[in-house]
Amino acid sequence: ILIRHARRHVPFYRERFKKIDLDIDATLTPEIWRQIPLHTRTDIQENFTAL
């Protein structure tokens, strides 16, 4: 549910999830979790308004 909400309502995550073609309705397996990129402090600072 959290992943679905983030993709629909948070521009930062919408773009990140599009890049990996994440199906938000699929069951989140360990393999899918490994595809989700971690973000760094710099990512947060540079994209603060999109979060």
Give residue 2's pLDDT. 87
CB atoms inside a 10 Å sphere around CB 10: 15
Which of the four pLDDT bands, split at 50, 70 and 90, describes residue 13?
very high
> Which of 28, 23, 30, 50 is CA-nearest to residue 39?
50
Range of the domain at 36: 2-50
Residue bearing the bigger pLDDT, 8 or 24: 8
Give residue 5's pLDDT. 92
Q: For residue 21, give every residue at least 6 positions away whose Cβ sits within 8 Å of its Cβ, in sequence order, or none.
A: none
- State pLDDT tens for residues 19-51: 888 887 888 899 988 988 898 999 999 999 999
Q: Hey, what are 17's tokens?
A: 């999830």
Give residue 26's pLDDT. 84
